[in-house]
Structures are given as structure tokens and as C-alpha cells.
Amino acid sequence: MSAIFITATGTDVGKTFLAASLIRHFRQIGRAVHAIKPVVSGFDPAQIEASDPGVLLSALGLPVTMEEVERISPWRFRAPLSPDTAAAREGRRIDVDQVIACCKSAVAQHRGILLIEGIGGIMVPLDARRTVLDVLTALRLPLILVTGSYLGTISHTLTAIDALLRRDMDLLATIVSETPGSTVPLEDVVSSIANFAEPVIGLPRGRPGTAPNLDDLFSSQRALDMMNLG
């Protein structure tokens, strides 16, 4: 496969963490990889290294500069809000057709594996009519769905999976990224979701601020093989 879209059940569940780990893994095994995150909210130009585009650029081994950020994330908004609201705060709007075209152009231009990281969850609105799910439907790319291990995530995750399957999307895997401080054990969340979907893979987060490579996180090659990414 040449491109994978990484989406989620909501915000702050680990999409960028997973994308950066995948990038490092592919680079370590000598595979060509690139990544984009077309739409970003909560972006502070004064702290680009800590931003989602900055994390992706660092994993790619590229300079973390505004020029590079502009290249992989053309739509950037300061307010940490849903993209439609964040854009409106700046007197702007997101042209969803242009976002779709940007993704298609990236797929056509980059050799090897292209990771496209979405914004927020699959139903986050991009404008008054369309959501991230509409972008996914237009692109028809294989997907990885990322969710957390917090209390309530099982319902959120199964709802997202149902929405994706109703659109006949190609869901490679559901990744349960461990929520720091969650009262629910990661393995219990994985086990419950796995009753309704497969494959479901638990992603331990480790110590705060650490981001070990994908093989360390998944403990074995089995997880990659389950997603046909080995």
C-alpha cells in the first residue's frame, strides 16, 4: 500500500504519537516514508517543535521550521477548537475539496509509504456541512483508527467503527493508545473492543515524554503483521 490515513475517535488520543512511531519504524527498516497533517488547530508558531507537525517532521528527520510545517500542514489555526470553529475565529473557512485535493496530490507525489494524519475524530466538522469522515470517504484509503483507554472509550470506539464500516472503509486496525492516568487497564479495553472488531492492538504509552520505536511499543512483529505493515 502507498498511503494510510490515521484517524481517531476524538482528539488527544495518540494519533501523532502513533504516526511518529510508525515513521521511525519504517525509517529504521529502510523503507521510504513521508507524512502530512493537512489541517491543524491549536497551532502556536512560537512552539512549532511541540506541535503535531513538528513532531512528525522530527520523526521524518526533517528540519522543524515554518517552511517545512507549511509544506506538510497547509491549514493551520491558533485556537484549540474544532477546525470549523477555529477557522471562523480567524475569519477564514476550510475548503474541504482543497483538503481532499491536497491529500490526493501527496499520494501521487510521494514514493514509498505516505501517512496522512487527520484532525480530531472522524466526525469533527471541517465546515458547516462536511466532516473528516467525508474526506475519508472521498479518499478511500486504508485506515488506522486510534482510540484511548479512558472510561467511556468502548462506546466511542464502536460508534466510530460502525460509521466507518457503513461507508465501506478499509479499516486496517484499531489501535488503543493507553490514556495516561486512566483507571481502566489497557488490556481490558482491548479485550472488550476485540469482541466486536479485529484486529485491535494495545499501545502502551510508557513514561511521560518518551516515544520508543514501534517494535518496542507493540512488543513483537505480530502487530505490524496484523496490519499488513511488516
Residue 217 predicted with pLDDT over 60: no
The stretch 183-208 carries a mean pLDDT of 88
Look at residue 29 in the predicted model and tell me its pLDDT.
87
pLDDT band with cut points at 50, 70 and 90 for residue 205: confident
Residue 230 predicted with pLDDT over 60: no
Look at residue 192 in the predicted model and tell me its pLDDT.
97
Domain ranges of the chain: 3-226
Cis geometry, peptide bond prior to residue 63 (ω within 30 degrees of 0): no
The stretch 152-159 carries a mean pLDDT of 97
Least confident stretch, 29-38, 65-74, 164-173, 210-219: 210-219
Residues, the chain, total?
230
Look at residue 208 in the predicted model and tell me its pLDDT.
47
Average model confidence (pLDDT) across the chain? 90
Radius of gyration of the chain (CA): 17
CA distance 190 to 61: 32
CATH number of 3-226: 3.40.50.300
Residue of 15, 25, 34, 37 marked catalytic:
37
**Which tens digits make up the pLDDT trace of 106-151?**
999 988 999 999 999 999 999 999 999 999 999 999 999 999 999 9
CA distances from 154 to 51, 87, 151, 166 (A): 28, 31, 8, 18
Look at residue 210 in the predicted model and tell me its pLDDT.
45
Least confident stretch, 51-65, 192-206, 213-227: 213-227
Residue 38 predicted with pLDDT over 80: yes
Collapsed DSSP state (helix, strand, coil) of residue 145: strand
37 classed as catalytic: yes
In percent, the amount of the chain with pLDDT more than 90 equals 80
Least confident stretch, 25-29, 140-144, 169-173: 25-29
Using an 8 Å Cβ cutoff, are 64 and 54 in contact?
yes
Look at residue 206 in the predicted model and tell me its pLDDT.
60
